[in-house]
Amino acid sequence: MSGTALPERLEEIVEEFADLPGDLRLEALLDYSRKVPPLPPELAANRDVLEQVHECQTPFFVATELREDGAVELYFDAPPEAPTTRGFAGILYEGLNGSSAEDVLATPETFYTSMGLDQVVSPLRLRGIAAILSRLKRQVRAKVEAAHAGGVPGATHA
């Protein structure tokens, strides 16, 4: 990578993509679209706690939770007919879910540049993945600050 350490699993995903021939990168991205788990019932029933990422071309929503052990839980909602955006969410889910808040916050917004995705998706769509990561980092940062101020870390999702 570019000198900035990524969480181990995200680094593995970045390397996996970088090693693929260009024509297989889009296929791999679409494979990751199937790795986004459905929202848990409490979030599906209360969608107000999900934050929309307006930079995405499709309706895309994110929520985070900071567990008591300091690990981050990620929640994404994107329609199945948006496989590129869901693929970005799948990469972030597989690479960051369960990581420490510190590792999530240290992840560069442009980590995806080493993946070669610029060869298979438009710059507009690439800005979407940076926006998704930026939103979830903002949420995690707010939760860490609330925890240090005496708040209950996992009490809210968004």
- At 9 the pLDDT is 95
pLDDT band at 153 (very low <50, low <70, confident <90, very high): very low
- At 20 the pLDDT is 95
- For the segment 59-112, what is each residue's pLDDT rounded down to a tens digit? 999 999 999 999 999 999 999 899 999 999 999 999 999 999 999 999 998 888
Backbone angles phi, psi at 137, to 5 degrees: -65, -40
Q: Which residues contact 150 (CB under 8 A, 6 or more apart)?
A: none
- For the segment 38-66, what is each residue's pLDDT rounded down to a tens digit? 999 999 888 888 999 999 888 999 999 99
Cα separation, 48 vs 59, in Å, equals 14
pLDDT band at 125 (very low <50, low <70, confident <90, very high): confident
